Structure 1
Amino acid sequence: MENLSLFGAANWMGILSTICIVLCLYCILTFFQHLKNNDERLIKQAKLAAVFCLAVALLVPAFYNLYIYSEMMR
């Protein structure tokens, strides 16, 4: 029964990953908008936000899968 709760969290990881990918796309679009307006401070902020959102979207599910793998191999 304990293993079922581990797989329930996978659904939340998928939702979190999808939300972060959408936020990354939004930050990329605002980056291009600020690039057009030539606002250096906002360009840097949008770029950092896009990189952070993409990193979270890709790394959180990867670490969760490593955790599940280690739990299953015990």
Structure 2
Amino acid sequence: MNDMHACKPKILMDLESLNATNALGCPACGRKFSLGDSAVLACGAWGSGPRYIHENEAVKDSKTSQYFERGYYMSLKEDA
């Protein structure tokens, strides 16, 4: 999942998605995903490329239409 254009940017968690992501949980908040949770492919401070996080933990940048983890996005804005 290193290329944001290779995957769907927004999904509803199904069994296959849960099996792929729940070993580590949500990198933004640390909680596990549940069936039916809305998740988005976002960049964050974890540094290993975009990952799926809970949608409520993300901000969509209006200029790029990409999602970012909320705290990471705020730190980018402060640096600018």
- After TM superposition, the score normalised by the length of structure 2 is 0.21
Q: Name the structure, 1 or 2, with higher relative contact order (CA <8 Å, separation 6+).
A: 1
Write 1 or 2 for the structure with the bigger share of strand: 2
Select the structure of larger CA radius of gyration. 1
Write 1 or 2 for the structure with the bigger share of helix: 1
